[in-house]
Amino acid sequence: MNLKKILVASSNPKKVREIEEILRPLGIEVVLPPEKVEVEETGTTFLENAYLKVKAYFERFGIPALADDSGLVVEAIAPLPGVYSARFHALEEFGREEPVPDADSANNRKLLRVLKGRGDRSAKFVSVVVLYSDEGGLFAEGEVRGRIAQAPRGDKGFGYDPLFIPEGYEKTFAEMEPQEKHKISHRGRALRKLYNLLRDCAKG
Amino acid sequence: MNLKKILVASSNPKKVREIEEILRPLGIEVVLPPEKVEVEETGTTFLENAYLKVKAYFERFGIPALADDSGLVVEAIAPLPGVYSARFHALEEFGREEPVPDADSANNRKLLRVLKGRGDRSAKFVSVVVLYSDEGGLFAEGEVRGRIAQAPRGDKGFGYDPLFIPEGYEKTFAEMEPQEKHKISHRGRALRKLYNLLRDCAKG
């Protein structure tokens, strides 16, 4: 693969920075898309949604594209919220995607309500990263197990971070410094696997 | 990736032989699964179905697994038969998967009936191959464009081969010798891309 340059198919600057930091040692230039491409995430799995994104961005800009799709899987309602993590509140409330102000908080509140009275609060964050060009694709999965807190705590991170307590910890992702979180996070794990693939591929 | 050995997640000996021939120059041993693993192909795309297969086989046997998912996409009824190619007749007739004797012939007849009177007979064969282990995955897509014949011709190959006339040819896939078909076929193209990925990955 011609990998001097990789385009990150995301408009989330935090994600882009994280990816850049992890791939920097490979000498690969990480660039942002010149403009956003609207992609309908119609897949029923993380792999499929990440693939839909990278394919659309690669076809538009002609640069190998990297995307992540990730979400929370809560044991008591698995595979939900899953691929619907970012739209959980709206889908549960309205049966469709509905733009809501402060969707993260709405999703967190919704999840707490759904889990009320349930004993099993175990959950995992899952991430799938895909790198794609017309020469083919690479992908890697990462996950981190944990449990859902009784109430949100912390103001770092995003999404369900204020509710997610990783195994072996007492604090939530939103209470951790980014570097601490990335070391154990689903996305960090998936990206490090992808890094190893890029470095070692077929050196068997 | 540790790729001394690859397990082909298929019980089709023709497919296995084709894959072995293509990967042989890489010095990778290609093995068959000790037993069949039942995998529900619930995906809505070729990538997803191939992924479901390799993941199940890798989890069972612990050897990097390779699978292909492929099908015919007929322009006039796109994206059908698509991921339902092997079950097209049964799904159209009964609304569910129904084991039928000689499913290939039934599917071919069904397709001819569906296309009767339609002017546009253009179609493409699509294949996605996925190689997967817990270190991550590689995938590659291949396609070949062509058109659907008025009646089946030839007895080589399998599936819709007797109806598919590739662009630039007058004969169907089922009238071609395997080597001739593999040079231009969707699966041949996908596998050669995967071969290149395995060889060149990240040498940018």
Q: Do B197 and A136 touch (CB under 8 A)?
A: yes
Nearest to A51 among B47, B201, B204 (CB): B47
Distance from CA of B1 to the nearest CA of A (A): 5
**Arithmetic mean of pLDDT over chain B:** 88
A135 CB-side CA count, 13 A: 19
Give the pLDDT confidence score for residue A99 in this predicted structure: 64
Which residues of chain B have a Cβ shorter than 8 Å from any chain A Cβ?
Answer: 1-4, 26, 28, 43-45, 47-48, 51, 135-141, 193-194, 196-204
Give the pLDDT confidence score for residue A42 in this predicted structure: 82
- Asked if residue B87 has pLDDT above 90, the reply is no
Q: Is B13 exposed, middle or buried (0-12, 13-18, 19+ CB in 10 A)?
A: exposed
DSSP secondary structure, chain A, as one string: ---SEEEE----HHHHHHHHHHHGGGT-EEE--SS--------SSHHHHHHHHHHHHHHHH-S-EEEEEEEEEEGGGTT-BGGGGGGHHHHHHHSS----TTHHHHHHHHHHHHHTT-S--EEEEEEEEEEEETTEEEEEEEEEEEEE-SS---SSSSTTGGGEEETT-SS-GGGS-HHHHHHHSHHHHHHHHHHHHHHHTT--
Mutation site for A-interface testing, chosen from B3, B28, B42, B45 by largest number of A Cβ within 10 Å: B45
- Asked if residue B202 has pLDDT above 60, the reply is no
Give the pLDDT confidence score for residue A30 in this predicted structure: 87
For A45-85, how does the pLDDT look when each residue is reduced to its tens digit (9 = 90+)? 899 999 999 999 999 999 999 999 999 999 999 988 988 88
Give residues with Cβ within 8 angstroms of A176, minimum separation 6: A154, A156, A157
Question: Which is higher by pLDDT, A50 or B157?
Answer: A50
Distance from CA of B187 to the nearest CA of A (A): 13
Q: Of A107-116, B28-37, B88-97, which gets the smallest average pLDDT?
A: B88-97
What is the reported pTM? 0.85
Q: Do A197 and B48 touch (CB under 8 A)?
A: no
Q: Do A1 and B48 touch (CB under 8 A)?
A: no
Nearest CA in chain A to B28: A204
Give the pLDDT confidence score for residue A128 in this predicted structure: 95
Question: Which is higher by pLDDT, B40 or A165?
Answer: A165
Distance from CA of A113 to the nearest CA of B (A): 31
Question: Which is higher by pLDDT, B165 or B42?
Answer: B165
Domain locations in chain B as residue ranges: 5-203
Reported as a pLDDT band with limits 50, 70 and 90, residue B203 is very low
- Asked if residue B13 has pLDDT above 80, the reply is no
- Asked if residue B93 has pLDDT above 80, the reply is no
Query: pLDDT over 70 for what percent of chain B?
Result: 94
Give the pLDDT confidence score for residue A102 in this predicted structure: 82
Mutation site for B-interface testing, chosen from A44, A139, A143, A203 by largest number of B Cβ within 10 Å: A139
- Asked if residue B96 has pLDDT above 90, the reply is no
Nearest to B136 among A3, A51, A139 (CB): A139
Q: In the CATH scheme, what architecture does the domain A5-203 have? A: Alpha-Beta Complex (3.90)
Q: Do A197 and B202 touch (CB under 8 A)?
A: yes
Instruction: For Cα atoms A14, A109, A120, give the angle at the middle one, nearest 5 degrees.
Output: 100
What are the 10-residue block averages of pLDDT along chain A, 204 residues in total? 83 77 79 90 88 95 94 93 86 71 88 93 96 93 97 93 97 93 91 85 48
Give the pLDDT confidence score for residue A160 in this predicted structure: 96
Q: Is A151 exposed, middle or buried (0-12, 13-18, 19+ CB in 10 A)?
A: exposed
Q: Do B137 and A139 touch (CB under 8 A)?
A: yes
Q: Of A89-98, B112-121, B179-188, which gets the smallest average pLDDT?
A: A89-98
Give the pLDDT confidence score for residue A203 in this predicted structure: 47
What interface predicted TM-score (ipTM) does this complex get? 0.81
